[in-house]
Amino acid sequence: MTTKPLPEHPDFLWRNPEPRSSYDVVIVGAGGHGLATAYYLAKNHGITSVAVLEKGWLAGGNMARNTTIIRSNYLWDESAAIYEHALKLWEGLPAELDYDFLFSQRGVLNLAHTLQDVREGMRRVGANVLNGVDAQWLGPDEVAEVCPILNVSPRTRYPVLGGTFQPRAGIAKHDHVAWALARRADELGVDLIQGCEVTGFLKDGDRVVGVETNRGRILTGRIGLAAAGHSSLLAQRAGFRLPVQSHPLQALVSELHEPVHPTVVMSNHVHVYVSQAHKGELVMGAGVDAYNGYGQRGSFHVIEQQMAAAVELFPVFARAHVLRTWGGIVDVTPDASPIIGRTPVENLYVNCGWGTGGFKATPAAGWTFAHTIATGEPHPLNAPFALERFTTGALIDEHGAAAVAH
Ligand SMILES: Cc1cc2nc3c(=O)[nH]c(=O)nc-3n(C[C@H](O)[C@H](O)[C@H](O)COP(=O)(O)OP(=O)(O)OC[C@H]3O[C@@H](n4cnc5c(N)ncnc54)[C@H](O)[C@@H]3O)c2cc1C
């Protein structure tokens, strides 16, 4: 792998060109998914007349607020296929983008604390293996071998009865992933335009022909929405409804520590997951706040519960201190699976509903969304994730594999 790190704030982040009056494709949202879509539109399809419009700054949304967990051990065939495609792309991206964004395949453990957790975990391992996804079922002693600081004593309130383990899963440095994708897209001719909010859509009958923005009108043949958390607002402006709800989702980090935590541990049951960042912070996340909101901040009781759960699983963390907490806005669908595809408005495409787990999907979301926009037809990997499934009933229910566990 070549490793040529970018400077901390690469020049092009500040360039921010004036929008042209028209582009072949406009992408709304410069998070990971918007940037990956622009990169693959240029690289895979040769479409370089592309503008990525971002109302804030590059990757200032969920892309740089997430807890960076990457895995592909979802239950259903459709999910395993798209998330495994993403994981394979992750494995090649540092070399392809010529940037070492610290992708670390340190494995992910999903703990089981009840008989039902054990059944669900074993079923998922079986399904993963049949789909060619690396997955193992570990008993409590094997769990302790993978993560020695985890409390596997049978005397705890929710004893660890075992867990699923995906060795190829792990973490990556999220802001650097965004910069690496943005740099390549920029080199291929894509305009990355910050401080440019899409406020409306220009239509000719049932077809979109452009966008209204705070920096003027931009005409375009095709529009891709990649505005996680804000998708339903944009859909409303375009004249249709999406079955998504926006919720705050929080995370926190501790101060820096020596390396103590060798893998990623998640527990849906006690509602926490923890990894240790390359610099040494313990990175912890929990579930979404129950109410709908756009505030990029959540409730204190969620953080409190998350830390109580972390100390229960890892007694050694009782000595750690919280350095920082923050929140993002995620959009959640009824079946905890994303929507990628056409909309009722011609030439307007949507990529949303990744809920708490879209970082891991970034390359595959971009790959398949770019294909859909370039050809007007879904890629086989995103065809099952069409909006129509909410009327046909062909749902892909990933609550068991998604839930709190990102
Ligand atoms: C605390 C937290 C922890 C998470 N942990 C994980 C994890 O461990 N693993 C995982 O896989 N996923 C995780 N996620 C989920 C993941 O971050 C998201 O699913 C994913 O980042 C969404 O795609 P994105 O990167 O394109 O979104 P974003 O980065 O949010 O990009 C959307 C962009 O659209 C812009 N936008 C919105 N409206 C407009 C408009 N009208 N005009 C122009 N621009 C607009 C926004 O400003 C934003 O920059 C987590 C999320 C949070 C908040």
For the chain, domain boundaries: 18-67+174-243+334-402, 105-169+245-332
Please identify, by atom number, the ligand 1 atom nearest to the C-alpha of residue 196. Answer: 43
Give strand pairing partners of 22: 219
pLDDT for the residue 10: 65
User: What CATH architecture is 105-169+245-332?
Assistant: 2-Layer Sandwich (3.30)
* 330 touches ligand 1 (CB under 6 Å): yes
Distance CA 101, CA 91 (A): 11
pLDDT for the residue 296: 87
pLDDT in tens, the chain (406 residues): 444 555 556 666 667 889 999 999 999 999 999 999 999 999 999 999 999 999 999 999 999 999 999 999 999 999 999 999 999 999 999 999 999 999 999 999 999 999 999 999 999 999 999 999 999 999 999 999 999 999 999 999 999 999 999 999 999 999 999 999 999 999 999 999 999 999 999 999 999 999 999 999 999 999 999 999 999 999 999 999 999 999 999 999 999 999 999 999 999 998 899 999 999 999 999 888 999 999 888 899 999 999 999 999 999 999 999 999 999 999 999 999 999 999 999 999 999 999 999 999 999 999 999 999 999 999 999 999 999 999 999 999 998 876 554 5
pLDDT for the residue 5: 54
Sheet of 136-138, strands arranged across: 136-138, 162-166, 108-112, 264-267, 272-276, 281-288, 245-256, 322-332
CA-based nearest residue to 208, from 25, 336, 16, 1: 25
pLDDT for the residue 2: 45
* 328 touches ligand 1 (CB under 6 Å): yes
* 81 touches ligand 1 (CB under 6 Å): no
Half-sphere exposure of 269 (CA within 13 A, CB side): 20
- Hey, what CATH topology would domain 18-67+174-243+334-402 get? FAD/NAD(P)-binding domain (3.50.50)
* 61 touches ligand 1 (CB under 6 Å): yes
DSSP letters, 229-297, are TSHHHHHHHHT---S-EEEEEEEEEEEE--S---SEEEETTTTEEEEE-TTSEEEEEEEE-SS---SS-
Assess whether the region 18-67+174-243+334-402 and the region 105-169+245-332 belong to the same CATH fold: no
pLDDT for the residue 8: 59
Please identify, by atom number, the ligand 1 atom nearest to the C-alpha of residue 355. Answer: 19
Tokens 């453990």 found at: 109
Report whether 370 contacts 381 (CB < 8 A): no
Residue with the smallest CA separation from ligand 1 atom 35 is 29
pLDDT for the residue 16: 85
* 19 touches ligand 1 (CB under 6 Å): no
- Residue 358 Cα to ligand 1 middle (Å): 8
CA-based nearest residue to 75, from 404, 405, 402: 402
* 406 touches ligand 1 (CB under 6 Å): yes
pLDDT for the residue 96: 98
Tokens 């399904």 found at: 127
